[in-house]
A and B are shown apart, each in its own frame.
Chain A
């Protein structure tokens, strides 16, 4: 079952089109990354599904049901910045969140322990560092052990140790079978944590699907011989070949990183009676892939 379905979601702020006709589905039990540069509409999208922003068009549903306050109680959400009452302690802030969600107050100690804030639980929120605020916000999301979590830039403001901790926490939650939807502008983060991804650029959806398919690290081998058609015919079943893209002067062979040896490829063609006149390996990094996705369209 799909946890979240977006259908043609659009949002305009005056003349600015913050989201344009975005549709995708978040399957159950995945870590779904929403990837895009700053200002690409990630937070707007999450704001709409959490009912703090009104869509200009389109529709969305959770578990195939129209969104409602009751459904939101069962989803732990951190949107943009941690929002708490500055004059209250961590515990008192979580009491409010627990009361709204209908979660017993006894759950508060557990979630504070999970984000390592137990020692500072009675300090006022206003005395917290940025990283602690962020961790408290994540603790608040975990109240009531929801099956769906929505994190907007969850590692924002954290130091490297904190970032690693939160990423591990997300992976643990995923292993427990929870669905996590997270927005991030960090490609590296999405690659490390997510199983699925949707890429946004200036409010438009560029791609969505499995991380392995969308953000795959690929080696591209260019090959050419006098007869390109014969070469293509020969190589179409070559082991580990992901796909082949014919160009005018050569063929592009896509392999998963590290899966191809130039030497054996050359030897293979030669043994089949085709002499290569061009053989070149191009490394394609994730960053170029990301740039490709976000720049070209």
Chain B
């Protein structure tokens, strides 16, 4: 709690923090609402759409809306990962990571405080996703009898956001430079991870699902494409175990690295 208080003092009047985080908090629900609205329109307007929608069990209604909100939230959450990178590389740029340690934080505490910030961001984002799904679901769903059925996807979203943040944290601590770290993060999230996934998944191999980010991404598959096209042949449980292993490995690696490294600049 003490560490979080220190972090709070740092971000309280940091404009970029509020712009990026506010960006997620405002943009995601609005975009989600309009997207679902348009989606329903297009489904209602043609027979083919109706058929697809029935095959999908419509992602804009309860209980499937939990799933679609989680998937959609995942797209926007990449922003929050960028924010965490910024919070870490800022410290390096201002050399305040040195000063924090000189003033009496241990290196472990410094790392832990950034992990705690990540945890808070993930919890906040998950709350936003829950609220958005609930509100948008209540607006569009005619039937609310199965309201809480698909809630496991919210849990998956939370895990996915933790995984993204851990990747962001590792990149930020290893790369140190703001611009480069953000470029590498986006390159990894959008290009490297996806290329690897596609090339591994093409010959029906399961390895692709066990990439660091895919292990949690695959927990929340795209709900807007017909189900048979997105057949996953790996159990949720094995993905969860795999994700946990990656998570712990990354946490241990980055902590060990930071404990030993010279904090030059």
Contacts and interface: CB of A to CB of B under 8 A. Distances in A.
B9 interface: yes
A100 interface: yes
The size class of the interface chain A forms with chain B is 20 to 34
B107 interface: yes
Given A52-B262, A52-B263, A83-B94, A99 B9 contact: yes
Nearest to B95: A83
B109 interface: yes
B6 A53 contact: no
Main secondary structure of the interface of B (DSSP, over half): helix
Interface stretch (A66-74, A178-186, A250-258, A284-292): A66-74
Given A54-B262, A100-B6, A69 B105 contact: yes
Given A51-B107, A53-B263, A84-B94, A99 B2 contact: yes
Given A52-B263, A96-B10, A99-B9, A77 B102 contact: yes
A258 to B, nearest CB: 43
B5 A99 contact: yes
Given A79-B102, A83-B99, A96 B6 contact: yes
Interface string B87-107: 000100011101111111111
A100 B90 CA distance: 18
Nearest to B100: A100
A86 B94 contact: yes
A102 to B, nearest CB: 8
Contacts of B102: 50-52, 72, 77, 79
Contacts of A13: 262
Interface residues of B, number: 29
B88 to A, nearest CB: 13
B231 interface: no
- Which of A69, A73, A84, A86: most chain B CB closer than 10 A? A69
B104 A72 contact: yes
A105 B96 CA distance: 19
A101 B104 contact: yes
Contacts of A87: 13-15
- Which of A51, A52, A68: most chain B CB closer than 10 A? A52
Contacts of A86: 94
Contacts of B142: none
15 contacts: A52-B263, A53-B262, A54-B260, A54-B262, A72-B101, A72-B103, A74-B104, A79-B99, A79-B102, A83-B94, A84-B94, A88-B14, A96-B6, A101-B103, A101-B104
